[in-house]
């Protein structure tokens, strides 16, 4: 079986996924009988490629890494817009890895719709489409007979959506709580060790774990997008990040952190979703937890999510200090689940 991919976005996650695809090429052929080819790579400002054959991924990775652009790749270089590439590509699976637009989820939403219209299945690690338009996109995918997967949107490669989908049949998710923003978790942990907010944020930037705009982390927008994505998929919330009752960590002071520590408590940025009558209410607020709380030991860049269910009680999933490799794996695993379903 041959699967042709269109990669929309070729930043750090896109290149990590491409490296994973290259490293697993022989395994995919041997174990699954699948040959993956990349038909297109589209970027907003770094050049784009379209090929009737197969783009040399290793060359594309090297060129993007060494020169910062794909414009000199060769005859496959194109000036077509991203939508034009999607509409004209003969790919049958689109991997959408563009940057989150917290205001609207665009242009990723329109790009995914274009892929569906072209008969492509879609994998994305972009929170925006799931946080702003999950109901519309999932309905459109069903109507077009294609697949829509998004495991990498929350908690990197840790299976949350797949876990519920595949292992909790018949269970209703009635509440969600999580530490969903690793940068805020890291900053609060560093402040507990005596550093100021500014020093902790500088440390997060050095580690490369902040969003492109760090206020997305500090002001709670990243966590808001993630809890909305979880609520939309697992609780049919039909919400968006603008509806989240959101307070970030910007006003948390060193004194506040020290006061909590003196009481053997820790401050965490907790995101939650709960059903109140017919509506799902979402919230992101700093909260205080003690040693008996399951989030107490979730430190560093780790994340966690607790799912409250009607039949299985509360289930908590924790990831420890993930890297780009985990997000790339989420995309890879979603891709394989689509192949299994074809």
Phi, psi of 40 (to 5 degrees): -155, 150
Nearest Cα to Cα of residue 164 among 320, 336, 305: 305
Per the structure block, which two tokens stand in for 175? 């509440």
Given 226, 243, 268, 281, which residue is catalytic? Answer: 226
Rounded-to-integer distance, Cα 317 and Cα 307, Å: 8
Per the structure block, which two tokens stand in for 61? 């990775």
Taking CA atoms, 260 is separated from 81, 186, 263, 271, 294, in Å, by: 52, 16, 5, 19, 17
Between strands 35-42 and 121-124, the pairing is unpaired
Gyration radius from the chain CA atoms: 20
Rounded-to-integer distance, Cα 322 and Cα 301, Å: 7
Rounded-to-integer distance, Cα 274 and Cα 70, Å: 45
**125, 150 in Cβ contact below 8 A?**
yes
Instruction: Examine the residue annotation and report whether 226 is marked as an active-site residue of this protein.
Output: yes
Residues annotated as catalytic (active site), given as ranges? 226
């Amino acid at each position: 079986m041959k699967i042709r991919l269109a990669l929309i976005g070729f930043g750090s996650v896109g290149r990590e996924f491409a490296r994973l695809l290259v490293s697993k090429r022989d395994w995919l052929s041997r174990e699954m009988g699948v040959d993956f080819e990349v038909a297109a790579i589209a970027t907003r400002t770094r050049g784009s490629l379209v090929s009737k054959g197969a783009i040399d991924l290793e060359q594309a990775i090297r060129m993007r890494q060494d020169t910062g652009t794909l414009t000199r790749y060769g005859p496959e270089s194109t000036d077509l817009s991203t939508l034009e590439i999607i509409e004209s590509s003969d790919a049958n699976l689109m991997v959408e890895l563009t940057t989150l637009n917290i205001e609207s989820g665009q242009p990723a939403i329109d790009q995914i719709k274009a892929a569906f219209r072209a008969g492509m299945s879609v994998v994305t690690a972009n929170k925006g489409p799931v946080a702003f338009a999950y109901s519309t996109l999932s309905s459109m995918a069903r109507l077009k007979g294609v697949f829509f997967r998004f495991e990498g949107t929350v908690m990197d490669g840790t299976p949350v959506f797949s876990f519920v989908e595949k292992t909790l049949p018949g269970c209703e998710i009635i509440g969600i709580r999580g530490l969903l923003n690793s940068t805020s978790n890291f900053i609060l942990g560093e402040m507990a060790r005596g550093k100021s907010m500014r020093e902790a944020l500088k440390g997060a930037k050095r580690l490369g774990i902040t969003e492109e705009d760090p206020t997305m982390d500090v002001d709670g927008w990243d966590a808001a997008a993630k809890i909305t994505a979880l609520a939309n998929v697992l609780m049919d919330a039909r919400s968006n990040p603008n509806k989240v009752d959101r307070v970030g960590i910007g006003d948390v002071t060193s004194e506040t952190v020290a006061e909590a520590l003196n009481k053997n408590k820790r401050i965490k940025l907790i995101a939650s979703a709960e059903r109140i009558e017919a509506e799902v209410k979402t919230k992101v607020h700093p909260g205080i937890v003690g040693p008996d709380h399951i989030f107490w030991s979730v430190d560093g860049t780790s994340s966690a999510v607790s799912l409250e269910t009607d039949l299985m009680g509360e289930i908590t999933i924790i990831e420890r200090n993930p890297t780009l490799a985990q997000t790339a794996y989420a995309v890879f695993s979603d891709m394989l689940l689509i192949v299994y379903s074809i």
